[in-house]
Amino acid sequence: MTAYQDFETYVAQINDLCCVNNLLMWDDQTHKPAGGTETRGHQIKTISEIAQERFTDPKMMRLIESAEKETQGESPDSPRVRALQQTRSAYEIVARIPLALVGEFSAHKTQMQLVWQEARAKDDFNLYAPHLEKMVEIKKKYAEAIGYQAHPYDALLLRYEPDMTAALLKTLFEDLKKGLLPIIQRANNQDKPRNDFLHREYPVELQKKFASEVVQRFGYDMNRGNIGVAPHPFEISFTRNDVRITTRFDPHFINMALFGLFHESGHGMYEQGADPSITRSALTTDFLGMYGVAGVSYGLHESQSRLWENIVGRSLPFWRHYYPSLQATFPQALQDVTLDEFYRAINRVEPSPIRVEADEVTYNFHIMLRVEVEMAMLDGSLKVKDLPEFWREKMISYLGYSPKNNREGALQDIHWASGDYGSFPCYTIGNVMSAQFMEAARKQIPDLNSQIESAEFTPLRSWLTENIYRHGRTFSPHELMVRATGKPLSTDAYLSYIQNKFEDLYPSK
């Protein structure tokens, strides 16, 4: 075999281990009996450690160096050159992190997740606080080991959004605040559209049938995927040929499963759309997180779920086509509800305490708050003991809402107990990216609205596949954005989309 083939074979085995781990995690969230929790934890830990040991083995660098010599002179954009660059970069980052620190993190993460569950159930922040303090110290050590120039957050962002920094995030957030706060204030000063009918009787099997048909029409391939049920919806892949999504159902609230499946199908189509030639390669492997995944960053992945859930799935053209079918599926719940009433209800702007239930306009403020907390804890300007009050003040400032308890506040998310510092901004980055991609797609597909109104999604999905999905991790998020849209990431398209949409729903006086 050639040097590159040796490298490719070794990476494929690591990818297999990552995908096996994904499969264990899928089953853990969907079918595993409660009694299997402890042993499943051991299994996931073992496979993760084996994959990481293979990746950090000196043999990996020898294979990279030999393959680099063989590929000298190839185009800088060739998949082989890019695969080697991606792998070397990840190897150099992981090699800086002491194994003792990795062990300390894993042990504390397992304990802290259990404490978080108890603290949240009891609404007891004091129980949680010392564990959060220790996790923050561990993450500071990670940042120091990886290295950074301006802010420790920059080091932690590398795993999730490699082109982003704390400084860039602050600029992006300021732009969003200026554009979004007036819409929230306008909506707060107007009568809220009725939404009582969203909480009527919606039989679960009919919900699943309707939503499944829609996401297959989007282009989610059920021959290479399936739909499961989980407490918290997610997508997970085991190569492009097996990409699974989940949702959760509430027989008295249709939005949860409906938009949950729209969202997860966007993630799923991204993974299914990777070019077959990069299957089991470095271009479909997240070496920093040890996952088999084609998406190049968390933000870019989120852009695809948000695009299909919100820009398509909450649009008026979409519901002009699908509302008669939805009404026919649930006649008792929707017989007295017009298309306009339904459209306004699913786009209702209303500040609320819970991030995952927030509307399009207020959602980003939930993310900004969490990112500001993470940055401040890492640079020492916010003490853990002061977090609940900081949270309360920010929620009042941004959304005019004061949390009733810590379950609505600093105990709301599991992310910090899981050690996922740096992941939160990807949700807002994804929102911003989704609009910029959609703006570019419209330029090449001028009649896109009429196609959506006809439930003809192939041109849009084809554009996304050509410009994003097929490349996997070949290009950085910045490169993909410039190649697809002609310009770097900007809030312009997103603010234009939001302002135009919600001017119609909440007009200026």
Query: Annotated catalytic sites, by residue?
Result: 264
Contacts of 15 (CB under 8 A, 6+ apart): 239, 280, 281, 284, 285, 292
Are 274 and 240 within 8 A, CB to CB?
A: yes
Contacts of 109 (CB under 8 A, 6+ apart): 135, 417, 418, 419
Query: Cα-Cα-Cα-Cα dihedral of 74, 77, 78, 80, to 10°?
Result: 90
Question: Hey, which bits of 28-137 come out as E strands?
Answer: none
| Cα R_g (the chain), whole angstroms | 23
Q: Interhelix angle for 298-306 vs 425-444, to 10°?
A: 60
Three-state SS sequence of 232-269 = CCCEEECCCCCEEEEECCCCCCCHHHHHHHHHHHHHHH
Question: What DSSP state is assigned to residue 285?
Answer: E
| C-alpha pair distances (Å), 296 with each of 78, 287, 311 | 16, 11, 21
Are 394 and 372 within 8 A, CB to CB?
A: yes
Polymer length of the chain: 509
Question: What DSSP state is assigned to residue 220?
Answer: -
Are 199 and 253 within 8 A, CB to CB?
A: yes
